[in-house]
């Protein structure tokens, strides 16, 4: 059979039609993909991942939707704050298609629609805040945009999972004012920290001086107590010593007086007493005569002295005789 006859063979064309029909009717859907099927131009169903069959020439795949989470870049745009400051803001949006049929049937281009909605919602959120709030409340802005977009994109079969502002750029004049303000704030914090350091150092020094004075006072008090106790002990010992000395002197005097008394009771002792008295009298008159050139007496003193001297001589002589007699 030649080529011309083969090309004109009905069996060949029948085989080609069958293979083409099978190819149009059998679909292998990848994971996280959704094939939207139309039957005569009307939505029929969505094919899930795996092996699927459709009716060729009656049903067709109208759209192939990606069901994975996607990141959409929101380009920089101008927004005016509540205090009339123009800002350039850009962000990033994370979303995923949860209903492939709605993303195909309810919106023409869901990515463009979500991007435009994010830009509009962001401008509205910025317009409700002042400049300082925009810098301090990024999380609040992100949450506001996310909540508004979640409600708006639900009919489109799209779920916005997260929105993040990447950068907020104020005008040059505002940036300069902000830099001056930040410099002033840093200087203010530096002054406050320095003052607090000086205050803390002064308090610490005062507490140290107070503790030192307390310790000095306690030490002085302890020294005074010890000195008082030592003085007390010294006085007690001194008093005891004096008392003991007085007692010993008294005992010695008493012993001497006892011996003198015992000796005076004898004849020889009385004579010795008279001799001592005479000697003391003579010494007294001699001392008086040495101190003064004139000595006044009552006239009887000489007789008394003479009698006393005579008695003393007699006593001395008797003592000598008694002594000589004892030796012989």
What CATH number corresponds to the domain at position 132?
3.30.479.30
72 & 59 share domain:
no
108 & 137 share domain:
yes
Asked if residue 283 belongs to a domain, the reply is yes
Q: Assess whether pLDDT exceeds 90 at residue 313.
A: no
Strands in 158-169's sheet, in edge-to-edge order, are 69-80, 86-97, 158-169
87 & 54 share domain:
no
Cα 188 to the center of its chain, rounded Å: 22
Residue closest to 36 by CA, chosen among 93, 97, 96: 97
- List residues bridging with 77 in a β-sheet: 89
Q: Assess whether pLDDT exceeds 70 at residue 120.
A: yes
138 & 163 share domain:
yes
Q: Where are the alpha helices (DSSP H) in 169-266?
A: 172-264
Q: Assess whether pLDDT exceeds 70 at residue 7.
A: no
Q: What is the pLDDT of residue 203?
A: 92
For the chain, the average pLDDT equals 81
Q: Assess whether pLDDT exceeds 70 at residue 320.
A: no
Residue in this structure with the two tokens 């803001």, named with its chain if needed: 89
Residue that finishes a domain, picked among 31, 49, 65: 65
Asked if residue 43 belongs to a domain, the reply is yes
3-state secondary structure of 297: coil
283 & 322 share domain:
yes
Contact, 299 vs 275, CB < 8 A?
A: no
Contact, 63 vs 104, CB < 8 A?
A: yes
Q: Assess whether pLDDT exceeds 70 at residue 208.
A: yes
Asked if residue 196 belongs to a domain, the reply is no
Q: What is the pLDDT of residue 115?
A: 93
Asked if residue 139 belongs to a domain, the reply is yes
78 & 143 share domain:
yes
113 & 52 share domain:
no
Burial profile 270-295: b = 16 or more Cβ within 10 angstroms, e = fewer: ebbeebeebeebeeeeeeeeeeeeee
Asked if residue 166 belongs to a domain, the reply is yes
What average pLDDT does this structure show over 155-181? 85
Asked if residue 191 belongs to a domain, the reply is no
Q: Phi-psi bin for 32: left (phi > 0), alpha (psi -120 to 50), beta?
A: left
Asked if residue 210 belongs to a domain, the reply is no
Q: How confident is the model at residue 3 (pLDDT cuts 50, 70, 90)?
A: low
Residue that finishes a domain, picked among 46, 65, 84: 65
> In residues, how long is the chain?
328
Q: Which of these ranges, 9-18, 27-36, 275-284, has the smallest mean pLDDT?
A: 275-284
Q: What is the pLDDT of residue 157?
A: 92
76 & 155 share domain:
yes
What average pLDDT does this structure show over 62-69? 91
Count of domains forming the chain: 3
Residue closest to 268 by CA, chosen among 276, 257, 258: 276
57 & 142 share domain:
no
Contact, 148 vs 100, CB < 8 A?
A: no
3-state secondary structure of 202: helix
Asked if residue 190 belongs to a domain, the reply is no
Q: Assess whether pLDDT exceeds 90 at residue 97.
A: yes
161 & 93 share domain:
yes
The C-alpha torsion from 135 through 137 and 142 to 145, rounded to 10°, is -100
For residues 312 and 305, what is the distance between their CA atoms, to the nearest angstrom? 10
> 152: domain range?
68-170
276 & 304 share domain:
yes
61 & 111 share domain:
no
Q: What is the pLDDT of residue 291?
A: 63
Q: Where are the alpha helices (DSSP H) in the chain?
A: 3-7, 10-25, 100-105, 110-127, 131-136, 138-153, 172-264, 267-291, 301-327
Q: Assess whether pLDDT exceeds 80 at residue 244.
A: yes
Residue that finishes a domain, picked among 170, 191, 215: 170
């Amino acid at each position: 059979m030649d080529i011309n006859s083969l090309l004109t063979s009905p069996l060949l064309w029948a085989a080609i039609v069958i293979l083409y029909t099978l190819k149009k009717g059998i679909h292998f859907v990848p994971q996280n993909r959704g094939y939207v099927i139309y039957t005569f131009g009307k939505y029929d169903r969505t094919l899930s991942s795996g092996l699927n069959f459709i009716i060729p020439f009656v049903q067709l795949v109208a759209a192939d939707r990606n069901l994975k989470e996607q990141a959409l870049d929101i380009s920089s745009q101008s927004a005016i704050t509540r205090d009339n400051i123009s800002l350039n803001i850009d962000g990033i949006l994370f979303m995923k298609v949860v209903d492939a049929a709605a993303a195909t049937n309810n919106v023409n281009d869901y990515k463009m629609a979500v991007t435009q909605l994010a830009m509009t919602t962001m401008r509205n959120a910025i317009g409700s805040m002042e400049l300082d709030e925009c810098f301090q409340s990024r999380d609040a802005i992100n949450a506001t945009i996310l909540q508004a977009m979640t409600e708006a994109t639900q009919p489109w079969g799209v779920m916005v999972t997260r929105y993040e502002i990447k950068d907020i750029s104020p005008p040059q004049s505002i940036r300069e004012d902000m830099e001056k303000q930040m410099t002033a704030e840093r200087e203010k914090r530096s002054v406050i920290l320095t003052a607090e350091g000086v205050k803390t150092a002064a308090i610490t020094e005062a507490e140290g001086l107070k503790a030192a004075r307390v310790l000095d006072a306690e030490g002085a008090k302890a020294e005074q107590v010890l000195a008082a106790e030592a003085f007390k002990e010294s006085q007690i010992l001194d008093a005891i010593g004096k008392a003991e000395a007085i007692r010993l002197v008294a005992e010695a005097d008493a012993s001497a007086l006892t011996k003198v008394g015992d000796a005076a009771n004898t004849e020889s002792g009385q004579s010795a007493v008279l001799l001592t008295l005479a000697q003391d009298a003579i010494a007294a008159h001699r001392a008086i005569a040495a101190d003064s050139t004139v000595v006044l007496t009552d006239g009887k003193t000489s007789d008394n002295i003479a009698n006393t001297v005579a008695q003393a001589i007699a006593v001395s002589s008797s003592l000598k005789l008694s002594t000589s007699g004892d030796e012989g």
